[in-house]
Amino acid sequence: MWLYVLLALLALLLLRRWHRERQTVPGLSERHVLITGCDSGFGNLLARQLDARGLRVLAACLSEAGAAQLRAATSERLQTVLLDVTSSKSIADVTAWVRQRVGDQGLWGLVNNAGIAIPTAPNEWLSKEDFVKVLDVNLVGLVEVTLSLLPLVRRARGRVVNVASVMGRVSFFGGGYCISKYGVEAFSDSLRLEMRRFGVKVCVIEPGYFKTMITNVESLEKNFYSCWEKLPEEIKTSYGESYLKQFVVMLKLLQKTYNSDLSLVTNCMEHALTSVHPRSRYSAGWDAKLLYLPVSYLPSALSDALFALFYPK
């Protein structure tokens, strides 16, 4: 008897959630959304997706070539701007540019998508500068862009969507990437609490492994060899060249698990921007839902034992 009651309550809760999440924000055609990192990958696809949906997309690209390619593939509504998230002047210039376009209406959505993964390698193979290069883009740049545009988002009672990663929950390789994504999670959590009183919603996207420029195996392999060549002989001797070769083999095996359907991620971003009741967190990809997120709740001894299976012996 009680089992049936519990199942009925669970079904009602799921039905309620489904109904709430289907409610769409009105007047989307009049709302502006700024997306960073639109040259390729998730940002590029999201810009085209939102443009097709009728939103007023402000696409920030790192290169003019990327901006031109995106303009050619979209409607006249979409506007592009060049943005280097590691440059305070570039961020200030783009903020002024956005302010001119949104006016008193404010900025409905900010999607912090720009990111890099390289340099990455075992931590001892890297320098402070290698860590800083990634953190400047993925975390410090994201924070500065958000702080600069937050008054415009607050005016619109809009959305901030930050792209983290499953590597912001579990970290099993060295370098600044995982550190930066842990930081994005922490920044998003505190910002979400602070913005509640202003009606601003802050959402985090946690993709699994997807085939983007960030996870290009050829670039990662080249990066590993480059880091190896710079190491002192003492460190090379300690690890042994077999360690390097086994790491490269592991990368090639991981390549087979990459998901090439980027829309699984951009659909989460779109929902966060267009739903009346967005989620605080979105996991994208079967590996995120069934492997990395569950593993993140395991005791460290168990998760360490699991990930150790992939490390060179």
> Beta strands 32-35 and 56-61: pairing type?
parallel
> Beta strands 56-61 and 281-284: pairing type?
unpaired
Closest by CA position to 61, among listed 78, 86, 93, 39: 39
Catalytic status, residue 177: yes
Residue 149, CA atoms < 13 Å, CB-side half-sphere? 39
Q: What is the DSSP string of 109-171?
A: EEEE------S-S-GGG--HHHHHHHHIIIIIHHHHHHHHHHHHHHHHT-EEEEE--GGGT--
Tell me the one-letter amino acid at 270.
Answer: E
Lookup result for tokens 């690209």? 61
Cα dihedral angle (195, 196, 198, 201), rounded to 10 degrees?
70
Q: Which residues pair with 202 in a beta bridge?
A: 160
Q: Which of 4, 177, 243, 282 is catalytic?
A: 177
Closest by CA position to 184, among listed 206, 215, 201: 206
Whether the Cβ atoms of residue 297 and residue 277 lie closer than 8 Å to each other: no
| Active site amino acids | 177
